[in-house]
Amino acid sequence: AGTWFFWHETRPDDAFWILLSVLVATCPCALSLATPTALTCATSRMGNYGILLRKSHVFETLCKVNHLIVDKTGTLTHGDIVISKVETYSTFSKEQSLSIAAALESHANHPIARAFKVYTDQNVTVSDVENIIGSGIQGDYQGKQTKIGSAPFVLGEAKSAEPNSIYLSVDGVHIATFKYQDPIRKEANSFIERFQKEGIKVTLLTGDSQMNADSVASEIGIDKVVANAKPQDKLGYLKNADSADVTMMIGDGINDAPTLAGAHLSVAMGGGADVAKASADMVLLGDHLERILDARQLALQTRRIIRENLAWSLGYNLLILPLAVAGLVAPYFAVVGMSASSIIVVSNSLRLLKEQGK
């Protein structure tokens, strides 16, 4: 309006085309494309990485993460657990112990529970089953209370706990110990090392025993370990974290769901429980941890591209507007400049579709 009134008083014949140039020059096409085009391209790349985005803040928060919290079983380890040894301590045979354990574990979805599935016996059933998240499972077998789980839960004491072991009792009598194997993911060491090199704190937060947690932590280089954590303990740890921490939680189980929901950014393993995936901001479909590193680098690159787009579009408008107001830009030139500015922004965003390093 100011441009129109000035040139209408000064050079009435030129007022219209100068006003038209100003309107075209100030059209915010490039500015409005700066962020959406970059996010669209980055989201497409995330899909190529096998990462499903469920929340809109993922890219922004990935750039700010300074505290990584990881679960153990099914996250740092494969979660493809196999029972390697069975020790019996009563009149129950090895086969009976395994079938009772399988009947109880059929009511859980933990990776350890899945290891017992092959020992299922249709003739062995349990009733009144209760899943004590973070501890184990209890139920009624032939009128007797039966428990399977950690040493404190089953035996009532922690001192007799052994690494990578699950315990079974009937009527308070310890009848079997199941030893299992759960190999660590081959990429776990480099995954943790990369985060540590970037100055990001790493904590292993698990419901497993201190002994099992320390064994895995020492092998992959994690100093901070919180073990024997029930779901409420995990969430409590998250709430009591330093206020300056921007946390990223990676987990896969039902007991991780509250923590995943409470973290600033959460990642669920694709092979994990449905409730964990429903609580997470991202789902790692292929269970390849290194893809999270790729996602973080992509987020940093996306932020840089957005800043470049905004700088270009704002800079162009700041440059062209005074020239247009001064009557130095013809309408057709303003059209060309506006279109070129939009093309530059879109082309810059399309760089995100390229493989990094190429």
User: Per DSSP, what are the bridge partners of residue 168?
Assistant: 148, 176
3-state DSSP assignment of residue 265: strand
Task: Specify burial of residue 163 (Cβ count, 10 A radius: 0-12, 13-18, 19+).
Answer: middle
Taking the mean position of all CA atoms in its chain, how far away is CA 237? 18
Phi, psi angles (nearest 5°) of residue 12:
-55, -35
Taking the mean position of all CA atoms in its chain, how far away is CA 229? 20
Q: What CA–CA distance (Å, rounded) separates 353 from 40?
A: 10
Phi, psi angles (nearest 5°) of residue 227:
-115, 175
Question: Which candidate, 113, 143, 127, 49, places its Cα nearest to that of 255?
Answer: 113
- Cβ-contact 107, 122 below 8 angstroms: no
Active-site choice (14, 71, 121, 140) = 71
Q: Which residues contact 176 (CB under 8 A, 6 or more apart)?
A: 86, 87, 88, 89, 90, 92, 94, 97, 98, 101, 167, 168
Q: DSSP H helical segments within 63-146, as ranges? A: 94-105, 111-115
71 included as an active-site residue: yes
Query: Which token pair is 9?
Result: 């008083």
Active site residues: 71
